[in-house]
């Protein structure tokens, strides 16, 4: 899979990739994104930053924001792993506890 991305080392000794997208009219940062590993601390920090930028909008939006500058191997998997741990997202998606009816109104016998 990495072979398809045609990785190369740029002038700053950063591993970038180049694929079919290099023929597009996008900015250079999007045409030749920086290649990141799936399970690396820096990758996780980049995903968290982009997740905050898209205001915790979800996996798809976070991945699109990340791909403006970076290409993560198995990117959706990496973004999903970070987003599912997000405390802010869990607060918004969580459901309140249901109060059992037996404790509210005990039945008189």
| Domain membership flag for residue 90 | yes
The CATH number linked to 9 is: 1.10.340.70
Looking at the structure of the chain, the number of domains it has is 1
pLDDT number for residue 92: 84
Residue showing tokens 């205001």: 55
**Side-chain-facing half-sphere of 80: CA atoms under 13 Å:** 5
Give the model confidence (pLDDT) of 39-97 as tens digits: 999 999 999 999 999 999 999 999 999 999 999 999 999 999 999 999 998 888 877 77
Phi, psi of 66 (to 5 degrees): -65, -40
- Residue 58 is encoded by which pair of tokens? 């979800």
Furthest CA-CA distance within the chain: 83
In the predicted structure, residue 34 carries a pLDDT above the cut 70: yes
In terms of pLDDT, which residue wins out, 66 or 21?
Answer: 66
| Domain membership flag for residue 98 | yes
Residues 49 and 76: their CA atoms lie apart, in Å, by 16
């Amino acid at each position: 899979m990495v072979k398809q991305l045609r990785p190369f080392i740029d002038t700053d000794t950063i591993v970038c990739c180049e694929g079919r997208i290099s023929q597009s009219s996008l900015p250079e940062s999007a045409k030749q994104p920086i290649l990141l590993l799936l399970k690396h601390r820096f990758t996780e920090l980049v995903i968290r930053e982009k997740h905050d930028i898209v205001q915790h909008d979800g996996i798809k939006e976070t991945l699109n924001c990340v791909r403006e500058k970076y290409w993560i191997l198995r990117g959706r998997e990496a973004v999903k792993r970070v987003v599912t741990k997000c405390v802010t997202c869990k607060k918004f998606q969580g459901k309140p506890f249901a109060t059992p009816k037996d404790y509210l109104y005990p039945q008189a016998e």
